[in-house]
Structure 1
């Protein structure tokens, strides 16, 4: 039964993508996120990472950055989270890991980050109900400067 009529289109919800929705070479782009002081403070509270470079404005002014910067793992986690907003990660069975993480430029309070990811591997597994995606992530700031890159792999349900 469908809810579509000639006058009213079908109601659509969140995308329902499985492993076969992406193949090697496909590219995804996330929405953006503006990093705020609240992100830094909440990350520090959540993780116990109370380093002065991130939380002490007077200390950070004396560093090479001249101001507080975002925690690297916060940038990484935000990038993974932003990519889930594309709708392609609704059938993740397991996160398999992370490789080759490089922070290439600091993320400052007020910077807006976004992510582009390329599927570097889409392969079947021995189990017909699962496949693997490996993606190369590139995180950009609002000036289109690369601030981080890494690869991440996921076990995904197949139809």
Structure 2
């Protein structure tokens, strides 16, 4: 679904939560193949039994990719990703965990590019027990209405 949500339309404090997505063994294997990250923490079930978590964990970059993908349910034609900041993997995600992303509009500020503003969204990712597993800020470069006057 495509919409036009201009800089002026974003409301700090506004929240939305995505649907869930279960992380599977296939996700981990595919991600390892795509990235070349075959560390035993993700791939070696027997070795993991000797480690503190006792089981394989999903790659942080896999969790990040899925979490961001979940947040992209609406296509905003007048905004683009400017970057991500303060990315933290707070707790592990295991095979068969289901994650959801809560997006909160954190702040809006002017941008040096005329006709644009910067919107910061806080992304908080929780597992099926409600435990925070990842957090980051998503920066959006968003057109202002004034240039469409």
TM-score, scaled to structure 2: 0.86
Q: Counterparts of 1:136-155 in structure 2 under 5 Å?
A: 136-155=122-141
Q: Give the 3 Å change call, closer, same or farther, for CA 78–92 of structure 1 in structure 2.
A: farther
Q: Which residue of 1 aligns with 2:120?
A: 134
Q: Which residue of 1 aligns with 2:105?
A: 119
Q: Deviations over 1:57-86 (max 9, x none)?
A: 11111111111000011111111111002x
Q: Decide whether the 8 Å contact of 2:4 with 2:78 is kept in 1.
A: no
Q: Which whole-Å CA distance do the structure 2 matches of 1:31 and 1:97 have between them?
A: 23
Q: Quick one: which of 16, 19, 27 aligns to 2:15? A: 27
Q: Give the 3 Å change call, closer, same or farther, for CA 66–92 of structure 1 in structure 2.
A: farther
Q: Counterparts of 1:5-154 in structure 2 under 5 Å?
A: 14-19=1-6, 20-85=8-73, 87=74, 89-91=75-77, 93-125=79-111, 126-128=113-115, 130-154=116-140
Deviation at 1:93, TM superposition (A): 4.8
Unaligned stretches of 5+ residues in structure 2: none
Count how many residue pairs are aligned between Structure 1 and Structure 2: 143
TM-score, scaled to structure 1: 0.81
Unaligned stretches of 5+ residues in structure 1: 1-13
Q: Decide whether the 8 Å contact of 1:91 with 1:157 is kept in 2.
A: no
Alignment RMSD: 1.7
Q: Decide whether the 8 Å contact of 1:54 with 1:71 is kept in 2.
A: yes
Deviation at 1:26, TM superposition (A): 1.1
Higher strand share: 2
Which 4+ residue blocks in structure 1 deviate beyond 3 angstroms? 123-126
